[in-house]
Amino acid sequence: MVFSSTVFLFFFLPIVLIFYYLLPGKFKNSILLIASLIFYAWGEPVYIILMCFSTFIDYLNGRLLAQNNNEKRRKLYLTIAILINLSLLGFFKYSDFVIRILNNIFNLDIALLNIGLPIGISFYTFQTMSYSIDVYRKSVEPETNYFRYLTYVSLFPQLVAGPIVRYSTIASELKSRKIIFSNISEGFMRFLRGLFKKVLIANNIGIMYELILASDFGTLSVMTLWLGIIAYAVQIYFDFSGYSDMAIGIGKMLGFSFDENFDYPYISKSIGEFWRRWHISLGTWFKDYVLYPFLKSDKVQKMQSWIKSKWGKTIAKNITVSLGTLLVFFLTGLWHGANYNFIYWGLYYAFFLIIEDIFLKKFLRKHNVISHFYVMFVVIIGYVIFSIEDMTVLSNYFQGLFGFGGIPFINDTFKFYLSNYGLMIFIGMIFCLPIFTKVPDKIKDNALINVLKGIAYIVLFLISICFIVSDSYNPFLYFRF
């Protein structure tokens, strides 16, 4: 699928755009729908049926919700839509995980199903669920045209790896949108920046971390392991934010305004801030559809109303928010993958968020330098948990990272990786910072600077093409989620 999606972006996309711009407005959604289905079918043709079934259920439930004022029936329709969506996601993504758990607990020998994971199912499932919930809440009008709704869900720029685009964000644009040259130009430049992030930085740095994980840990050193996980931190940011940039850029070229998905998360000074800047569409989804409903639920409100003292209310509020945070980040971890390490990773972040909320807020606000190093340490350690699914390898990596296991602090292996990948890691770390937002407008608008910028984009684009054609290592990390 990685190769086929790359082929689509570089060879099929220009063809789609030509037809899209030449044909009248009433045909644009049809072009988008056909292109999106071809894009998905290129790698996973059989799963088009699954996506069409899922979208039809949500479309139908949306119509039923709008036509019915009986609250019990409306809740029933919403429950059916959510259960069907979660059942499909659970079956394809978590069935083998559940079987492994049952086998371990009860000493069984149930055969694994080994079902292929439909690409992007976690993303489009959350999109369709958000639509049903919003229609139930009457915060959006239900879509009356199934094919327009299917176009929304299957939009190829964001279908396989996000960002999670809510129906309310682009509802009006689905019906009518203007194609403006400035938006096409801006979108194309945004697409190129995402391409450079992905191909020139993420891919090249990612090779090093893969080599380190595949090595005999006895031949490594403490500094090699730290260099490896720092490289992964740079890789995953540029991989995922690069894809988001490409999706947002293509969306803009097509006349859509997708929300931002990243806002320089590595400059954060608290874990809470980090999650407001990282994978924004997922974080806001869990806030709006899990955390806030939990905190505002009747049982929680009733429990808090029983408590009269000021201290009691404070403690009850902290406990409630902590439970909500645990629930959200347990689900966040589980959303990312059907393995224990993802659950541990989610609970790991929940722990720091709870500690921050109760004890560390004021301290972190007052000590900017300390808070920044604290965040990066927590995030980098979290990536060890996130990136290694094998518990034995995970344990060995942690031991080596902190000097246990008898490996040296530094050796020739570290020097080799540093000399070959150090400059690329450094460049990646620099571009993780919002350096271009600090450039004065006079420099940005300078004619000579713009010419040089255009030449640089052309050169980087040609280099990217060469890397894509010649390099076999071209994964999108978030395709598997």
Q: Please identify every residue annotated as catalytic.
A: 336
Cα-based angle 227, 329, 40 (whole degrees, multiple of 5): 80
Closest C-alpha to 320, from 333, 332, 306: 306
154 within 8 A of 36, measured Cβ to Cβ: yes
Contacting residues for 173 by C-beta, under 8 A, at least 6 apart: 255, 256, 257
